[in-house]
A and B are shown apart, each in its own frame.
Chain A
Amino acid sequence: MSEQRIVGIDLGTTNSLVAYMEGDTPVVIPGEDGSNLVPSVVALTKDDRMVVGNRARTHLIDTPDRSIYSVKRLMGRGYEDVQEELKLFPFRLDRSGSGEVLRIKLGDRTFTPPEISAYILLQLKANTERYFHAPITKAVITVPAYFNDAQRQATKDAGRIAGLEVLRLVNEPTAAALAYGLDKGKDGIVAVYDLGGGTFDISILKLHEGIFEVIATNGDTHLGGDDIDNLLIAIALDDIAGDLKLDLRRNGAAVQAIRKAVIEAKIALSSQSTAKLNVELPGGKRYQREIGREQFEQLIEPIIQKTVAPSRQAMADAKIKPEDIDEIVLVGGSTRIPRVRALVKELFRREPHTELNPDEVVALGAAVQAHILAGGSKATEDMLLLDVTPLSLGIEAMGGVVAKIIHRNSTIPASATEHFTTAVEGQTNVAIHVLQGERELASDCRSLARFDLKGIPPMSAGLPRIEVKFLIDANGILHVSAREQRSGKEAQIEVKPTYGLTDQQVEDMILASFDHAQEDFRMRQVIEARVEADNILLALEKGRNNPAWQQLSGDEKHRIAGLEEELKAAKSGDDYKSIRAAIDALNEGTMHLAELMMDSVTSTIQGQTMSGADRTVGQGPTAPHPIAPAEFEHNR
């Protein structure tokens, strides 16, 4: 294949997924455990290996000080922003280092949020490479629509650290609309209500002949299922303190065990009227409690009510009323909660769409966008996404007020040009403070960066005319360039992000993480290859007992025995490439045997064989294929 595959990635607070376009249909790529979702959990094992996903989940309870979840809440944020977060999440931050970028402690090592996210991305990358048996270096990654510049930049940095070129950041609700719109092709106004694990977005789009034009977006980047979990945990801890006289607030392992139980209860309450909590506590005691759905709904009402104001604001900004909306799409696991669905129905006065799996729809949309960027096909040729910037961009003027230069909900790319001059005779530097937010005062907005225009030719005060161009690109990320117009000199700008990593820091992390990740990745490959080798060797053993074996010539039998020995030898080494080569050779060599066995099976049990064959074929063109008979044996 000459063109490299571009995948779509949903880097979620709770779960992450990777998807690609198979023909005209986006599909999720499963992990080695067969699951489509990779839990966004990262843990550092005692022997200093990074594990991600389901394998990291057990570490949350066993070694809470060496594991982390919901790292997305920390992306692009500073210490003072996360104080609230720290009360609710077991984030262990290292404050000893300098700089404003957060550092998370896992054991005695520290990592920035983009690095932790990069490990999740590496896992998705590995899953994809395993699936395609080909390297993947390009991706589209989704972000909450209401993410600010720093949070977007941090996500892009995570991609780079993981060795991925991030071709586009796509807003999650917009991606969901793409996935929904793909086969619909209907024009109209669509609202996407996206309540995930940690973020809430509401986007209103106008669909017009394949153009997905976002007209307004709003949200809260710290609102989601996590908040429900934390509330239930707090109640449980109170109960335990009161009834059992046990203060477990500082006991990380116990809190994680309770967290696991309340999440299960929360999920159960979406389909049942009651759920039971039953947690084993330290000291052999048990915490048992039953929650009814009605009680649950009362508890979470204040949390889900927080989605109302952003939803109304988005409609106001889009200058539409609920009646103008043609379709409403639900995204994110938290929209499975019946009370959330009821609220959406009240808000938009319409039955929401739930055809696509709310956990997967964002990744599927990202795959569609990746496909469009790769050149597209008949299915996507008319599709174009026009997104907006969620927050106004401004610069700090005299007296600490913000002069807005690009308003929220402006279609991106968007730009603004501002002119600056000097206040003092011979001044050669001008400092500019760029902010994002809707408030009037700089101190209430999000500081993005401070720019220093340097190298202004010395002139009388007020004479230089410095033109500064601000451009928000299609990813929602800001770029700045400046020129002194009287001398025509390009002013040198030093971009000092307020909360982000510098280019050099990202560069250093790529190398640092790659060494470890590469070794992890290699070991995993070896283990997987050995498992596969065992499977095929076992299948061969069984094949020898099959009547079909007697139909082979002596030469064939001899050749197979040779290949079998070669595989056994390769398996004892740790070069996964030679193990794979030996597997392929044995597969090739036993093809005739497999055919003979297949013939005998089809003639005896037809129906089952067809479905069995279906399943093996359905795994995809490059899925590993241990010789056929073993599969049939298992199915029988």
Chain B
Amino acid sequence: MHPVVPNPETLSAVTCWSCLKEIDKAAHFCAHCTKLQPPADSDYFSFFGLQRRLNIDLKSLEQEFYRLSRKLHPDVYARATEHEQQWSTQKSSLLNDAYRTLRDPIARTEYLLELEGVKLEEQSRSATDEARAQGKEKQQVVPPDLLEEVFELNMQLEEMRMSKKLGERDEQVAKDLEAAKVRFEQTLAGSNTDLQKLWQEWDQVIAGGADAADPQRIAVRDKMVALLNRRSYVRNLVRDVNEALTADV
């Protein structure tokens, strides 16, 4: 059996629907009769029996994903009662959603920050388009240290668009944009290293038993929010440049 780390936030007893014995609320199966239990109100970390830490061993996450898949997948419950079939579908979807989120470093960090009550600034593609459709400015803060470069980039992008409208391609601007793209991609790579340092800080604070109101916990959290915002800003820039460079003349 995989060692399940009890999560203090979900650890309390409930009754198994089948044998009526007392079991852990977060348990997927009854410890007595092994029956599948209905989906509990758990987050992705506790679904895997993990604490809210950001350094995750991906190999053992994968193994646990396979182990739980074998036990929760609807195929296993094809001959079970209708409600067990439903639970298995719901729990499998949770398992898959959780695995997809936790195995990706950025998605994992964003998810944790959401659990910490942060509403991440909407910088997704759909938000951009939505803002455009409504004729509003997308709410997005330019990271101060990038202000100057972004200003210049926007000028170049504008030039590129203008010449495209005339059916031309300005080779000099194209070259400048290529160079800017390389720089921003380096910035992106750098932010990944920075993020891992912040993971380290976060995990230490949590290991120290800091509660939600702990100032240190809040401080690391806010640093990660700032980093992710900056990262997504840069990522959008790279995307805009790519679009300008590859779109049909």
The chain A residues found within 8 Å of chain B, CB to CB, are 167-168, 208-209, 211, 369, 372-375, 384-386, 397-404, 410-416, 440, 471-474
Contact A399 B133 (CB under 8 A): yes
B126 with A411: CB separation less than 8 A: no
Chain A residues in 8 Å Cβ range of B134: 398-399
Q: Give, as a whole number of angstroms, the nearest-CB distance from B72 to chain A.
A: 10
Interface residue? B139 (CB, 8 A) = no
Residues on B with C-beta less than 8 A from A385 are 75
Would you give 24 A-B contacts (Cβ < 8 Å), ordered by A? A208-B66, A209-B66, A211-B69, A374-B78, A384-B69, A384-B70, A384-B73, A386-B73, A397-B130, A399-B132, A399-B133, A399-B134, A401-B130, A403-B130, A410-B100, A411-B96, A412-B96, A413-B74, A414-B93, A416-B97, A440-B129, A473-B74, A474-B89, A474-B92
A-B contact count (CB 8 A): 78
The digit string for B128-155, where 1 denotes a CB below 8 A from any CB of A, is 0110111000000000000000000000
Q: Which of A385, A411, A412, A440 has the most CB of B within 10 A?
A: A411
Task: Determine whether B245 belongs to the interface, using a CB cutoff of 8 Å to chain A.
Answer: no
B71-96 interface code vs A (CB 8 A; 1 in, 0 out): 00111001100000000011011101
Main secondary structure of the interface of B (DSSP, over half): helix
Chain B interface size, as a band, is 20 to 34
Shortest beta-carbon contacts, A-B, top 5: A399-B133, A413-B93, A373-B78, A415-B93, A403-B126
Q: Which residues of B contact A372 (CB under 8 A)?
A: 75
B99 at the interface (CB under 8 A from A): yes
A474 to B69, Cβ gap below 8 A?
no
Q: Which of B69, B78, B97, B132 contacts A415 (CB 8 A)?
A: B97
Question: B94 CB to closest chain A CB, in angstroms?
Answer: 7
The distance in angstroms between the C-alpha atoms of A414 and B94, with both chains bound, is 7
Q: Are A400 and B133 in contact (CB under 8 A)?
A: yes
**Complex interface: chain B residues within 8 A of A373 (CB):** 75, 78-79
Known A168-B75, A386-B69, A474-B74: A398·B133 in contact at CB below 8 Å? yes
Minimum distance in angstroms from A373 CB to a CB of chain B: 4
Chain B, residue nearest A440 (CB): B129
Q: Which of B79, B92, B126 contacts A374 (CB 8 A)?
A: B79
Tell me, in angstroms, the Cα distance from A369 to B74 when the chains sit together.
12
B96 near A410: Cβ-Cβ < 8 Å: yes
> Are A401's CB and B73's CB within 8 A?
no
Q: Mark B220-236, 1 if CB is under 8 A from A, else 0.
A: 00000000000000000
The residue on B at minimum CB distance from A472 is B93
Known contacts: A402-B126, A414-B97. The answer to whether A375 contacts B79 by CB under 8 A is yes
Chain B residue at minimum C-beta to C-beta distance from A470 = B93
In the bound assembly, the distance between CA atoms of A373 and B69 in angstroms comes to 15
Q: How far is the CA of A167 from the CA of B79 in the complex (A)?
A: 10
Tell me whether A399 and B90 are in contact (CB under 8 A). Answer: no
Chain A contacts for B74, CB-based, 8 A: 413, 473-474
Complex alpha-carbon distance, A475 and B162, angstroms? 48
Q: Is the CB of B93 within 8 A of A471?
A: yes
Residues of A within 8 A of B93 (CB): 412-415, 471-472
A395 to chain B, nearest CB (A): 10
For A405, the closest partner residue in chain B by CB is B126
| A401-B126, A404-B126 known, 11 other contacts, Cβ within 8 Å | A167-B78, A373-B79, A397-B129, A399-B129, A399-B133, A401-B130, A403-B130, A410-B96, A411-B96, A413-B93, A472-B93
Name the CB-closest residue of B to A6: B78
Residues of B within 8 A of A386 (CB): 69, 73
In whole angstroms, how far apart are the Cα atoms of A211 and B62 in the complex?
12
CB–CB B130/A413 < 8 A: no
- A411 — nearest CB in chain B belongs to which residue? B96
| A171 CB, nearest partner CB in chain B, Å | 14
| A399:B92 contact, CB within 8 angstroms | no
With A168-B75, A374-B78, A375-B79 in contact, is A398–B97 under 8 Å at CB?
A: no
B246: shortest Cβ distance to chain A, in Å? 15
B100: A residues at CB distance < 8 A: 410-411, 414
User: Which residues of chain B have C-beta atoms less than 8 A from A369's C-beta?
Assistant: 75
Contact partner of B129 (CB less than 8 A), chosen from A401, A413, A472, is: A401
Min distance, Cβ A371 to any Cβ of chain B, angstroms: 11
Kindly name the residue among B126, B133, B134 whose own CB sees the greatest number of chain A CB atoms within 10 A: B126
Cβ distance B98 to chain A, nearest Cβ, rounded Å: 11
Distance to closest chain B CB from A363 (angstroms):
19
Nearest neighbor of B99 in chain A, beta-carbon distance: A411
Cα separation A375 to B89 with both chains bound (whole Å): 17
Kindly report which residue of chain A lies nearest to residue B134, judged by CB atoms. Answer: A398
Residues from chain A with a CB closer than 8 A to the CB of B126 are 397, 401-404
